[in-house]
Structure 1
Amino acid sequence: MEIPRVKVAVIGGSALSGSGFPGEFDGVEVMEDGLEYSTPFGPTAPFTHARLEGVEFLFVPFHGITPKIRNTIPDSASERVFYVLMKAGVKKILGCALCGSTNRLLDPGDVIIPDGFVDYTTRRAQSLTRSLIEKGIQVEPVMYRLHQPFCPELSRLLTEASLEVGFQRVFRRGVVGISEGPRLESPSEIRIRYTSQGIDVVTMNLIPEVIFAREIGACYATLQLVSNYGEGLVSKEWEGPEVFKEFQERWRRPVAEAILRALRRIDPDYEGCGCGKHRWRAIFP
């Protein structure tokens, strides 16, 4: 199956699950759905190729993870997704996820548009180029820095859109800590690893998405919705998974609306953000 040439992509997360994004929202034209592409790492999760007010985009749900892909070792969901985005020529990527608060000033329902991250994962790929070379695919090596890991222009669009759809507290900056998972953190881990180190929220996603985006030369920004307090952050008894489910069902459509509002305003060819200057052809092989 041929990968279309598209400059914009949305990588969905748990914050979008069950929202009907993108096809059930006004103004979205689904051009093709259920697109599973072949990659050197195996077949992808189903993509959607859609158009919104003249802007074509690719969408993949839940970070490209399916039950089958989740059970592969190593988990190559991100390699599969970003191989497709690289071949498509994607230059702008919007992401989203639920996260836990590790900052006592942040509450469930708050939105963080982060400007920094700390990677606490231990088993995830750190280079799409290296992963491709290990598969026998020759690609031009690049070097890049993560001085500005999140695109300021895309982050601005997500901030404005989040406020417009009704989120009461939207923070234009914050540091995300990324845990390996799949388990949740202990109270001691929240206190010592995250809160005491200046981490505002913790999630299991974002890595390697933010790294791979820079590697393929794409701008990246993410909407992180606080769904819960980290273990031990506040004195509160566990209320069970139903509370989490109700929270996600309440906010998934506003998250989708925020993503769509940002999509409407994206200029796929805009380079004034400066993200491009942080990536260059490798000097050494």
Structure 2
Amino acid sequence: MSCTQPTEIPQVPIALIGGSGTFSLRLPEDLAWPGVEVLEDGLVYATPWGPSPALKLFSLPTTPPRLVLTVKMHGRLPGVSWGEASRRLFWVLRQAGVRKVVAEGGVGSINPLLDPLDIVVPTDYIDFSQRRDVALGEDYLCIMRRPICPSLHETLVRVAGAQPLNRVFSRGTYLVTEGRHFESEAEIKVFRQWGADIVGQTLCPEVYLAREIGACFAGIYLVVNYAEGTVKPWEHKVLKDIFFEGAEPFARLILQALMEIHLDSSCGCRELRKDTLLRPENIGRARRRGDNSQ
């Protein structure tokens, strides 16, 4: 795949952040979905922190057609930290005017009720990663009391539940670790005590950055292994089979969800981003307000 550095970023309402759940596919080409058209590929943009990950622009056969920007494997870049790569990616998404962000990936099951090939659409998270300072700026205070967009969540759950191949769980807590290694059995035991259901490496900082740019966010995740100490030791063959054989049906339901999501902003997610009060012009303002009240 050749990469180009265009100067103008297209205006696109939807972003799909691809992960390990669809990594083995060329998405959307390999699905051969009628009416889906790849418009541009290998799009790399200059950001304040360096080149962005390579993105692909495609259209969905809706009325009118919907444009989607997508990236492979959460936009990871060789020699660049995962958090830094996410920052570059979301800078592009902000410039593109993206309003809805859907992410996918493979996760491990901490909750012993979850098995490989189950689908989880989580409703909350615990951030155990070390990516604490990833942000695009200091303009906003991001409120995370409702991190997942209820409208996006409803669509993902409904579309996933309509297919017969997987059990679908409509709530759960995603525990984010740093990676790249898997977690130890002792760590998983602690995470289970905290109330986590699945473990992975990507929901944060994506959920933070989506809120910072004023976009709705939801993720849909395919269980690919038992976390250490859960049910039984996980098998590499099972992981491999899911990686290659589970990708296409998982990708199809995600593409269907992208066609059905609501593009309005009645969900209220944007209102959970507030202007920061830590601005230079606010220094001394409390004294001035006090003087005016006398």
Q: CA deviation at 1:20?
A: 2.1
The answer on whether the counterparts of 1:111 and 1:167 sit within 8 Å (CA) in structure 2 is: no
Which position in structure 2 is the counterpart of 1:136?
none
The answer on whether the counterparts of 2:147 and 2:207 sit within 8 Å (CA) in structure 1 is: yes
Q: CA deviation at 1:36?
A: 1.1
Letter in 1 for 2:222: L
Letter in 2 for 1:204: Q
The structure 2 residue matched to 1:242, chosen from 219, 237, 243, is 237
User: CA separation in 2, counterparts of 1:235 and 1:220?
Assistant: 33
User: CA separation in 1, counterparts of 2:17 and 2:143?
Assistant: 22
The answer on whether the counterparts of 2:18 and 2:103 sit within 8 Å (CA) in structure 1 is: yes
Which position in structure 2 is the counterpart of 1:205?
202
1:121 partner SS? coil
TM-score normalized by the length of structure 1: 0.90
The answer on whether the counterparts of 1:144 and 1:215 sit within 8 Å (CA) in structure 2 is: yes
User: CA separation in 1, counterparts of 2:100 and 2:26?
Assistant: 22
Letter in 2 for 1:145: I
Higher mean C-alpha deviation, range 80-89 or range 20-29:
20-29
1:16-67 Cα shifts (integer Å, max 9, x gaps): 112221123312111111111111111122111111021111011100013x
1:161-202 Cα shifts (integer Å, max 9, x gaps): 21223343111110000001111111111112x111110000
Which position in structure 1 is the counterpart of 2:261?
266
Which position in structure 2 is the counterpart of 1:181?
179
User: CA separation in 2, counterparts of 1:230 and 1:58?
Assistant: 32
Higher mean C-alpha deviation, range 208-217 or range 246-255:
246-255
Matches within 5 A, 1:1-285: 1=6, 2-25=8-31, 26=33, 27-53=35-61, 54-66=65-77, 68=78, 71-72=79-80, 76-130=84-138, 141-192=139-190, 194-236=191-233, 239=235, 241-268=236-263, 270-285=264-279
Structure 1 121/162 Cα, relative in aligned 2: closer, same or farther at 3 Å? same
Aligned length: 268
User: CA separation in 2, counterparts of 1:34 and 1:59?
Assistant: 10
User: CA separation in 1, counterparts of 2:66 and 2:227?
Assistant: 38
Larger radius of gyration: 2
Q: Unaligned stretches of 5+ in structure 2?
A: 1-5, 280-294
1:259 partner SS? helix
Q: CA deviation at 1:258?
A: 1.2
Structure 1 4/100 Cα, relative in aligned 2: closer, same or farther at 3 Å? same
TM-score normalized by the length of structure 2: 0.87
Which position in structure 2 is the counterpart of 1:135?
none
User: CA separation in 2, counterparts of 1:255 and 1:82?
Assistant: 24
Q: Unaligned stretches of 5+ in structure 1?
A: 131-140
Residue identity (%):
39
